[in-house]
Structure 1
């Protein structure tokens, strides 16, 4: 399975999680500090638009990377923007030598090779899908679906392992926290979460 196929599958797995979100659950907290479930989903839709714009050669424009309101239909907003991104990636990949992508939220002054950029978004998709699933109290199905497909789990773990882990890269306010020690029984998804500073045992605080 190609990286683009793995990426498309990651979006479908994530969309299946978002499909289960009820309007009253949009206020739930998530593992992303200070972000409600609504804010997280608006960020995800914004990232879909941003990566699609980058694939179209317009990634330098920060307007494309803004969070997008999901209103009362987060699943529809997610699936629509994901389909747009999938089409943009496919069109870019159809060229003999896909152009590198400008991803200003990661690095403003130099583009990334196309496949590396696709890998970044695959990671973002699956980790945020876990964020949504754990906020809803049901991450096990997503984790199992990824780990049942070794190429997908391997791609997730490989990209997570390549994320810079210096103190500056993992400072407060950055995308990922300091690397955690993975539980000895953790599978690929759990190890990827630990590499990114996520706590696999996170749960919505009981009030």
Structure 2
């Protein structure tokens, strides 16, 4: 599996969703209970900047994961951060480097190949969060969905719940489409809809 190529696809998928966001969407609630759409977009920029720093050996300080700024153009901020993380992930030997991921735990680090898989998963699923919030279609291709499913299956049940990165898994039928199974593995209800205004 070419994890870097697939990660770029995930960034493009999310970028397509971000490009559809209008100013009046930014205050909407999202499936991520703690975030409005503005907060979710800021999270995406922060994550790109944090993963880029971590790829270059500077991901331990919390500040590099929290300083993302949307400015007045969220789509432009997202694209700049996506370019930054793509460039960092393209560096030689990045798949073998140790990535610090302080959000998982103090001192926690994994090889680049695994870290980039986490990043891919985050962006495929957050693309759905944006899409369902603004009423846009979410259509990752089969290869990208399959890759995200493989990573999602590795996320442990420990540490899930309110306020954590993932909620508890949701049961869906065995024959549910792959996208729905992916969402359910991460505790997202595939039938979620925005609350009426």
**TM > 0.5:** yes
What are the residue-to-residue correspondences of 1:19-30 with 2, within 5 Å?
A: 19-30=19-30
Moved over 4 A (4+): none
Give the equivalent residue in structure 2 for 1:110: 108
Do residues 193 (structure 1) and 191 (structure 2) align? no
Do residues 161 (structure 1) and 153 (structure 2) align? yes
RMSD of the alignment, in Å? 1.5
Larger deviation: 10-19 or 62-71?
Answer: 62-71
SS at 2:106 equivalent: strand
Give the equivalent residue in structure 2 for 1:137: 135
Per-residue deviation, 1:155 = 0.7
Verify the 8 A CA contact 1:57 1:101 in the aligned structure 2.
Answer: yes
Give the equivalent residue in structure 1 for 2:124: 126
Per-residue deviation, 1:184 = 4.5
Deviations along 1:62-94, whole A, 9 cap, x unmatched?
110005231321110101100000000101xx2
Partners of 2:5 and 2:36 in 1: CA distance: 30
Verify the 8 A CA contact 2:18 2:130 in the aligned structure 1.
Answer: yes
Give the equivalent residue in structure 1 for 2:56: 56
Partners of 1:95 and 1:206 in 2: CA distance: 48
Question: Aligned pair count?
Answer: 197
SS at 2:116 equivalent: helix
SS at 1:118 equivalent: helix
Partners of 1:35 and 1:89 in 2: CA distance: 27
Partners of 1:60 and 1:125 in 2: CA distance: 21
Partners of 2:191 and 2:76 in 1: CA distance: 29
Gaps of 5+ in 2: none
Per-residue deviation, 1:109 = 1.8
Structure with greater proportional helix content: 1
Distance 1:121 1:97, change over 3 A: closer
SS at 1:11 equivalent: helix
Partners of 2:32 and 2:13 in 1: CA distance: 20
Verify the 8 A CA contact 2:55 2:94 in the aligned structure 1.
Answer: no
Distance 1:110 1:205, change over 3 A: closer
Verify the 8 A CA contact 1:182 1:191 in the aligned structure 2.
Answer: yes
SS at 2:63 equivalent: helix
Do residues 95 (structure 1) and 85 (structure 2) align? no
Gaps of 5+ in 1: none
